[in-house]
Chains A and B, each alone.
With several copies, the nearest count.
Chain A
Amino acid sequence: MAYSEKVMDHFEHPRNVGEIENPSGVGTVGNAKCGDIMRIYLDIDDNQVIQDVKFKTFGCGAAVATSSMATELVKGKTVEEALGVTNKAVMEALDGLPPVKVHCSLLAEEAIHAALWDYAEKHNLKIEGLEKPKSDIHEDEEEEEEEY
């Protein structure tokens, strides 16, 4: 596992672990392939600014680090801005992930989307560009050499 220093740092000292009581939105997603699960809690104020965010993750080192980084990236952002925090952005902020671990960062993106969806539903809002989250993420593997 060639994890970057940033990944290791976020893994060792994950930011924003925990729960929020009475959150504005909460999202839980799982990856069907590896069986890992991530849950994100959002506290959003009336100006649609994310005031607080927490996460819980049952997953590999990359899953923990991406959760941690994702929460940092969305904190203080507006809902609209938070939608722009893609898995690519998270990975870049972590100085990259090994190829087999790219799917883990999707978990973070999807968990945030799911929490935002939950927030939108609860508050009867329509957020431009946000789709109903799937509960399970499926992703195409890296292109592989044909095998025999």
Chain B
Amino acid sequence: MGKFIYLDNAATTKTDPKVVEAMLPYFTENYGNPSSVYSFAAANKEVESEQREIIAKSLGAKTNEIYFTAGGSESDNWALKATVEAYADKGNHIITTKIEHHAILHTAQYLESKGIQVTYLDVDENGLVDPEAVRAAIRPETILISVMFANNEIGTIEPIKEIGAIAKENGILFHTDAVQAYMHVPIDVEELHIDMLSASAHKFNGPKGIGFLYIRKGVKIRSFIHGGAQERKRRAGTENVPGIVGMGTAAKLAYATLDERAKYESELRDYLIDRVLKEIPYTRLNGDRVKRLPNNANFSFRFIEGESLLIMLDMKGICTSSGSACTSGSLDPSHVLLAIGLPHEIAHGSLRVSLSEETTKEDIDYLVDELKKIVARIREMSPLYED
């Protein structure tokens, strides 16, 4: 099939073969339901708590503060919907931002339809939330602040520690959607004053369909999925043992290489950013130059529409994505790019490149070389571009 270069690791990652290997026995050999009495299955309960421990340790949390879910979206939904109910007698106001993932934004909009007040904070041109704006938005009836750890499109890392401190000072719960950040940057829930944190395994070489919500001990939160007594009665459903083992194994592997990986990827990322900005005219980098995920680069090319760019890169064997959601049902340009102030037509021509530890300098060179040609070709075709 010729060249194949996967540069969309923010969308999902390859499951590590070691992870798959660790999962395999739990499909056809140790397939027992962990809630069962007999030893065959009870062993799975221990395997599960080993995974919980690995994850807890990676966050500076306690084992019984980690709750397995079916992924980042469920974790986000749970965190918002359930705290809003549990703290209804305290207030009905939550604070979040304009650049959250839809799993937060659409949930917040749903909550608005139920009478919850939501403040959506602005961000600056680099996508940064101002902690002082968080402070200013706090009201007596504020029960929750939810600010993402790092943005999934433009890679900006938010001032979580500062926001956490403000939340703590004011006795308000602080949730962070760390789906893009977990295992890509170091996170310590104590140091950062995080009360709840969402993560999803398939963003760090684990399997799809499994994630977790960290819930600090003492946080009141109702079940989101009611039923059996799994997950300390807080999340019902027969445990996805292979998935849990997959996530735990992936976390263990990723945690061991975190610093090294971040260093490698960010160097490559900087090389990519430098080349693109230098060699392709009418181009801008979206997101903060420094406070950004090690593996994320996001560009806007003027006079260019995103999908055409993606398809042409695809024809060259390069997988990337666009800020434009044109293709996923909605035709609106990215809410994130609009929030950082890009006009519609520029927001349309954006490209997200997200690296992995397998990405090489040769890959980046190939990408940039092709990108130059493709951008030129599309501009040639564009009625907006007069050279």
Chain A directly contacts chain B within the complex, with at least one CB pair under 8 Å: yes
Min Cβ gap A71→B in Å is: 12
B331 contacts across to A, CB distance below 8 A: 33-34, 100, 103
Using an 8 Å CB-CB cutoff, how does the interface string of A92-136 with B read, 1 for contact, 0 for none?
Answer: 000000001001000000000000000000000000000000000
Q: Which residue of B lies closest to A146 (CB)?
A: B220
Contacting B at CB under 8 A, from A1-34, are 1-3, 8, 11-12, 14, 17, 28, 33-34
Is B307 a contact partner of A58 (Cβ separation < 8 A)? no
Is B384 a contact partner of A60 (Cβ separation < 8 A)? no
A33 contacts across to B, CB distance below 8 A: 331-332
A56 contacts across to B, CB distance below 8 A: 381-383
Q: Which range contains the number of B residues in contact with the other chain?
A: 35 or more
B46 at the interface (CB under 8 A from A): yes
A64 partner, pick from B46, B315, B381, beta carbons under 8 A: B381
A60 partner, pick from B217, B305, B332, beta carbons under 8 A: B305
A39 contacts across to B, CB distance below 8 A: 383
Q: Which residue of A lies closest to B43 (CB)?
A: A2
> How many contacts between A and B, using CB within 8 angstroms?
82
Using an 8 Å CB-CB cutoff, how does the interface string of A51-66 with B read, 1 for contact, 0 for none?
Answer: 0000011111101100
B383 partner, pick from A1, A14, A58, beta carbons under 8 A: A58
Separation of A8 and B85 alpha carbons in the complex (Å) = 44
A12 contacts across to B, CB distance below 8 A: 315
Q: List 7 A-B contacts (CB under 8 A).
A: A1-B37, A14-B381, A36-B348, A144-B233, A148-B85, A148-B221, A148-B223
B326 contacts across to A, CB distance below 8 A: 34, 60
4 shortest A-B CB distances, which residue pairs?
A: A148-B222, A60-B307, A56-B383, A34-B331
Min Cβ gap B270→A in Å is: 30
Is A37 a contact partner of B223 (Cβ separation < 8 A)? no
Separation of A147 and B86 alpha carbons in the complex (Å) = 9
B284 at the interface (CB under 8 A from A): no
Is A148 a contact partner of B384 (Cβ separation < 8 A)? no
Q: Which residue of A lies closest to B348 (CB)?
A: A35
B329 at the interface (CB under 8 A from A): yes
B344 at the interface (CB under 8 A from A): yes
Q: Which residue of A lies closest to B329 (CB)?
A: A100
Min Cβ gap B42→A in Å is: 5
Is A58 a contact partner of B384 (Cβ separation < 8 A)? yes
Is B327 a contact partner of A58 (Cβ separation < 8 A)? no
Min Cβ gap A9→B in Å is: 11
B130 at the interface (CB under 8 A from A): no
B303 contacts across to A, CB distance below 8 A: 58
Is A60 a contact partner of B345 (Cβ separation < 8 A)? no
Chain A residue total in the interface (Cβ 8 A): 31
Is B345 a contact partner of A1 (Cβ separation < 8 A)? no
Is A35 a contact partner of B333 (Cβ separation < 8 A)? yes
Contacting B at CB under 8 A, from A83-98, are none
B124 at the interface (CB under 8 A from A): no
Separation of A14 and B307 alpha carbons in the complex (Å) = 15
Min Cβ gap B304→A in Å is: 8
A38 at the interface (CB under 8 A from B): yes
Min Cβ gap B284→A in Å is: 18
Is A57 a contact partner of B311 (Cβ separation < 8 A)? no
Is A2 a contact partner of B42 (Cβ separation < 8 A)? yes
A37/B82 contact (C-beta < 8 A), A2-B42, A60-B327, A147-B233 known = no
Separation of A64 and B305 alpha carbons in the complex (Å) = 11
Contacting A at CB under 8 A, from B213-228, are 217, 220-223
Is B85 a contact partner of A57 (Cβ separation < 8 A)? no
Min Cβ gap B74→A in Å is: 17
Separation of A144 and B220 alpha carbons in the complex (Å) = 12
A140 at the interface (CB under 8 A from B): no
Is B42 a contact partner of A57 (Cβ separation < 8 A)? no
Q: Which residue of A lies closest to B347 (CB)?
A: A35
Is A35 a contact partner of B308 (Cβ separation < 8 A)? no
A38/B383 contact (C-beta < 8 A), A12-B315, A58-B303 known = yes
Separation of A38 and B381 alpha carbons in the complex (Å) = 10
Using an 8 Å CB-CB cutoff, how does the interface string of B218-248 with A read, 1 for contact, 0 for none?
Answer: 0011110000000011100000000000000
A60/B344 contact (C-beta < 8 A), A17-B380, A34-B331, A37-B384 known = no
A57/B333 contact (C-beta < 8 A), A147-B233, A148-B85 known = no
B221 contacts across to A, CB distance below 8 A: 148
A46 at the interface (CB under 8 A from B): no
A2 contacts across to B, CB distance below 8 A: 42, 45-46
B382 partner, pick from A35, A57, A103, A147, beta carbons under 8 A: A57
A17/B315 contact (C-beta < 8 A), A58-B305, A147-B223 known = no
Min Cβ gap B91→A in Å is: 16
B42 contacts across to A, CB distance below 8 A: 1-2
